[in-house]
């Protein structure tokens, strides 16, 4: 029995790693080192898993009529919100071209359904896959940061939204923002590994940093003088500036 569990776990790991390698290959093929555009497209996908998993656990709690799922649901939804905010920052840095917009639409259609089925059938594998995705995101943002620090990519002022969201200094730069985003991705990687390992225990560990960030942002957004999205209404910022080369 123990041997069977061990081999199932190995298969799950191989699957999660191979999916990550496939996505990495696709990202490298489409974007190479155009990290701003890479971030925009990949963050539209990164916001999916937390929402799918949070929705599924919410439904599980409803149909099983069991309490105790709240912290996990909140953290998964907070992760999705955190990823959506990453997208809003990077859309200020790089505007997607028409091809990338089609890619985003297609990817969302496929990835939402794919991840939903995977999560229902094999939640441990699904979380493990996201752990590997997030680990790749950390590497990708590290490479982006190196380009900025070397001067190959201009260290422009950080978007106001990112300054408000992270509570950065008013003169914060793109490099400061990328460091914060990278720290978020590292936290997501750890959280998803924890959820994968705790599958079935019904007592999943929660790192409350992501929830705290969501609450901090909600309070800020409700503040009287904020320029946060809650007080400025729905806007399409993806057309407002000319696309940057990266």
For 129, other C-beta atoms within 10 Å of its C-beta total 26
Question: Closest approach of Cβ 189 to Fe ion, in Å?
Answer: 7
Of 122 and 137, the one with the shorter C-beta distance to Fe ion is 137
Place of tokens 């008013």: 170
Of 75 and 83, the one with the shorter C-beta distance to Fe ion is 83
Question: Closest approach of Cβ 6 to Fe ion, in Å?
Answer: 29
Measured in Å, how far apart are the chain's first and last C-alpha atoms? 51
Instruction: Provide the token pair at 43.
Output: 């963050």
Residues near Fe ion (CB under 5 A):
43, 46, 83, 86, 134, 185, 188
Question: Closest approach of Cβ 125 to Fe ion, in Å?
Answer: 18
Radius of gyration (Cα) for the chain, nearest Å? Answer: 18
């Amino acid at each position: 029995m123990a041997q069977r569990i061990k081999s199932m776990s190995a298969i799950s790991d191989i699957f999660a790693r191979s999916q990550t390698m496939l996505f990495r290959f696709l990202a490298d093929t489409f974007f190479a080192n155009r990290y701003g555009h890479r971030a925009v497209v990949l963050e539209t996908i990164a916001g999916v898993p937390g929402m799918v998993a949070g929705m599924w656990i919410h439904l599980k709690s409803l149909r099983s009529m069991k309490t105790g799922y709240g912290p996990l649901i909140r953290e998964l939804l907070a992760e999705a919100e955190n990823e959506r905010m990453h997208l809003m920052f990077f859309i200020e840095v790089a505007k997607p071209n028409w091809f990338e917009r089609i890619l985003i639409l297609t990817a969302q259609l496929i990835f939402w359904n794919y991840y939903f089925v995977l999560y229902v059938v094999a939640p441990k594998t699904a979380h493990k896959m996201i752990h590997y995705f997030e680990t790749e995101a950390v590497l990708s943002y590290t490479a982006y940061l190196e380009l900025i620090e070397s001067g190959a990519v201009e260290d422009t002022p950080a978007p106001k939204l990112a300054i408000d969201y992270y509570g950065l200094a008013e003169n914060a730069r793109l490099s400061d923002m990328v460091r914060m985003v990278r720290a978020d991705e590292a936290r997501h990687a750890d959280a998803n590994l924890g959820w994968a390992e705790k599958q079935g225990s019904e007592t999943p560990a929660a790192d409350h940093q992501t929830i705290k960030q969501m609450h901090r942002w909600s309070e800020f957004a409700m503040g009287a003088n904020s320029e946060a999205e809650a007080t400025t209404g729905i806007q399409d910022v993806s057309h407002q500036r000319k696309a940057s080369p990266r």
